[in-house]
Copies of this chain bind each other. A is one copy, B any other.
Amino acid sequence: MRETYHHGDLRRRLLDLTAETVAGRGVSEVSLRSLARAAGVSHTAPRNHFGSRAGLLTAFATEGHLILAERLREGAATSFLETGVAYVEFASAHPAHFAVMFSQEDLVVDDPAFVAARQQTFGVLCAGVEGLQDAGKVSDAAAAAIAGWSLVHGLATLALTGNLDASSVRAYVAEPDLSALARRAASMLYGSGTTAAPAAAERKEV
Q: List CB contacts (< 8 Å) of A141-170 with chain B.
A: 141-147, 149-155, 157-158, 161-164, 166-169
Interface contact B104-A175, CB-CB below 8 Å:
no
Q: Does A196 contact B (CB under 8 A)?
A: no
Q: Does A103 contact B (CB under 8 A)?
A: yes
Q: List CB contacts (< 8 Å) of A98-131 with chain B.
A: 102-106, 109, 118-119, 122-123, 125-126, 129
Q: Within the assembled complex, what's the spacing in Å between the Cα atoms of A154 and B102?
A: 11
The interface on chain A, measured as residues whose beta carbon lies within 8 A of the other chain's beta carbons, has a size of 53
Among A13-21, A37-45, A70-78, A179-187, the stretch that binds chain B is: A179-187
Interface contact A28-B158, CB-CB below 8 Å:
no
Complex partner residue of A140 from B26, B119, B186, B188, CB under 8 angstroms = B188
CB contacts (< 8 Å) of A152 on chain B: these are 150, 154
Interface contact A155-B161, CB-CB below 8 Å:
no
Interface contact B122-A167, CB-CB below 8 Å:
yes
Q: Does A173 contact B (CB under 8 A)?
A: yes
Interface contact B28-A147, CB-CB below 8 Å:
no
| Closest chain B residue to A101, Cβ basis | B163
Q: Within the assembled complex, what's the spacing in Å between the Cα atoms of A169 and B121?
A: 11
Q: Within the assembled complex, what's the spacing in Å between the Cα atoms of A155 and B161?
A: 16
Interface contact A143-B104, CB-CB below 8 Å:
no
Beyond A28-B106, A142-B174, list 6 extra A-B contacts (CB 8 Å): A26-B105, A102-B158, A142-B172, A143-B184, A153-B158, A154-B157
22 pairs, A vs B, C-beta closer than 8 Å: A26-B105, A102-B158, A119-B167, A126-B169, A126-B172, A129-B172, A140-B184, A140-B188, A142-B173, A143-B184, A146-B155, A146-B164, A146-B169, A146-B185, A147-B184, A147-B188, A149-B169, A150-B154, A151-B151, A153-B158, A154-B155, A154-B157
